Chains A and B, each alone.
Chain A
Amino acid sequence: MSTLLSLSGVSKTFERGLEAIARIDLDVASGEFLSLVGPSGCGKSTALRIAAGLVQPTGGTVSWPQGRPQLGFVFQEPTLMPWADVLANVRLPLELQNAGASEARERALRAIARAGLKGFEAAYPRELSGGMKMRASIARAIAAEPKLLLMDEPFAALDELSRQALNDTLLAIAREDAMTVIFVTHSVYESSYLSSRVAVMTPRPGRIAADIRLHPPPLRDQSYRLTQEFADAAGRVSAALRSAMEGRA
């Protein structure tokens, strides 16, 4: 598989001297579903924001061997414009990139349907539940048909059932579009369910402590959570996370 994104020696120290990430070397291949797992404050969000170009690293380089692809970003909060309905929110990235009105509308409607929000196009964010707001946020991220989807603990605030439902929606979309996903989470189980690869980070300043390949079945549903395979995957991630934590203590 070809490398889509390459972080080499990337570090970030904030203005007040807080060292968020130390040195991160990470190659992300096309089609991978990579989770960044680590304790709170380990700089995994910072790493993601550096990849998106929202934060400038203080050291190291970010390179795109195949050219910088179209990106989608899903924040921890749904981050919807409260004054706009779901359709207008999802249309936004397309309009900012100057797509034609009818084309933007069509692509936005398709993205909304794929994110499981069909019928709520005219709803305002305040009328939606937390899970539905996150679906709108995902619809917006996929509307511009990104090659790489960056997600920053998107489901952390949701209840377990919404979270599992969204995990499956996300997997289906990523598979259908052969999308590369970098997914930041602090949940061992979520990363084990979703990912083909898990990078475990140390506490601050964050470094990659373990790089684990998982081999989940490409088509999986909630029953996968009950398999021995899943338990083994979660066990490996969990053990790696524990040793990453101890490495510092």
Chain B
Amino acid sequence: MNRFWTYLFPLMLGIAALALWEFLVRHYEVPVFVLPGPVAVAGALFDNFGSLLGSLWVTLAVTWIAFAIALAGGLALAVLFAESRALEAALFPYAVVLQVTPVVAIAPLILIWVGYEHVERAAVVIALIVAFFPILSNATLGLRSVDPGLADLFRLYGASRWQTLVRLRLPGALPYILAGMKISGGLALIGAVVAEFVAGSGTATGLAWRITESGNRLEIAKMFAALALLSGVGIANFYLLAFFEWLLLHRWHESALKRQG
């Protein structure tokens, strides 16, 4: 199968599914407050585009800020873990506790602590909690997975800890870190959405809140429009990170290489 077909087939399937959906909705006269057709959804998206875009921006900002903090913090902590087994032994169990506790369950607490008047801050904290762990654990694993031969070489030439970290451990860990980033990117968005759902009201204005609001008002087409935007953002984030990964790895790493011969 060449490139052309790998793009055309899913596209054709998608169009066919949308057409079937529209046909069924019209044929069986499904009420628009139960299931609107794709045309109605597109209409709602068009009509509310300005306000939905504003909400999209709020959700995106929360996601990206949480992701950036998770990346910086996760990497920094992973470096400390890789340099000190004792520190890892002391802290890692608590990182696991944070990871395995369902974020939906602690979200209300965080809202209370951070305050309903600062829902976006609470949302950042919640998104951060879910986005943090994949980066921490992947980066720690990567920083530990050093080629022993190269480690010997660095030792032989009297490399300092800093040189070993920057020239050997970090580049070697890059594929792991990028894998963690792809997972975290998706989780940060989920965290942001969960936070808005839990907040329910207050000053929340993100996409998830618009979905709740539209649901309450039985504006199902608008709900679908917001949902479509949310998926779009998730997909865009994922491919952005995948592209970033390709950019950094395609010259050397097996995962990014095409099989030759």
Q: Across the interface, which residues of B come within 8 angstroms of A52, CB to CB? A: 156
Give the interface centre of A49, A54, A71 by most chain B CB atoms within 10 Å: A54
Give the interface centre of B149, B158, B253 by most chain A CB atoms within 10 Å: B149
| Interface status of A96 (Cβ within 8 A of chain B) | yes
Q: State the Cβ distance, B34 to closest chain A Cβ, in Å.
A: 54
Check B149 against A79 for contact (C-beta < 8 Å): yes
Check A71 against B168 for contact (C-beta < 8 Å): no
| Interface status of B47 (Cβ within 8 A of chain A) | no
Check A126 against B252 for contact (C-beta < 8 Å): yes
Check A81 against B168 for contact (C-beta < 8 Å): yes
Check B157 against A93 for contact (C-beta < 8 Å): yes
Q: Across the interface, which residues of B come within 8 angstroms of A95, CB to CB? A: 167
| Interface status of A82 (Cβ within 8 A of chain B) | yes
Check B150 against A96 for contact (C-beta < 8 Å): no
Interface size of B by Cβ–Cβ distance < 8 Å? 21
**Interface flags, B166-186, vs A, CB<8A=1, else 0:** 011001101000000000000
Check B154 against A75 for contact (C-beta < 8 Å): no
CB nearest to B159 among chain A residues? A96
Interface secondary structure of A, over-half rule? loop
Q: State the Cβ distance, A1 to closest chain B Cβ, in Å.
A: 25
Check A96 against B253 for contact (C-beta < 8 Å): no
Q: 8 Å CB contacts to A: which residues of B225-253? A: 251-253
CB nearest to A53 among chain B residues? B156
Q: State the Cβ distance, A94 to closest chain B Cβ, in Å.
A: 9
| With A54-B156, A92-B167 as contacts: A79 and B174 at CB distance below 8 Å | no
Q: State the Cβ distance, B175 to closest chain A Cβ, in Å.
A: 9
What separation, in Å, do the CA atoms of A240 and B172 have in the docked complex?
44
| Interface status of B147 (Cβ within 8 A of chain A) | yes
What separation, in Å, do the CA atoms of A49 and B171 have in the docked complex?
26
| Interface status of A189 (Cβ within 8 A of chain B) | no
What separation, in Å, do the CA atoms of A79 and B152 have in the docked complex?
10
**Interface flags, A95-114, vs B, CB<8A=1, else 0:** 11100000000000000000
Q: State the Cβ distance, A55 to closest chain B Cβ, in Å.
A: 10
Chain B residues in the interface with A (C-beta under 8 A): 147, 149-150, 152-159, 163, 167-168, 171-172, 174, 251-253, 257
9 contacts between A and B (CB under 8 A): A75-B149, A83-B174, A83-B251, A83-B253, A96-B154, A96-B157, A97-B157, A126-B252, A126-B257
Chain A residues in the interface with B (C-beta under 8 A): 49, 52-54, 71, 73, 75, 77, 79, 81-84, 92-93, 95-97, 124-126, 144
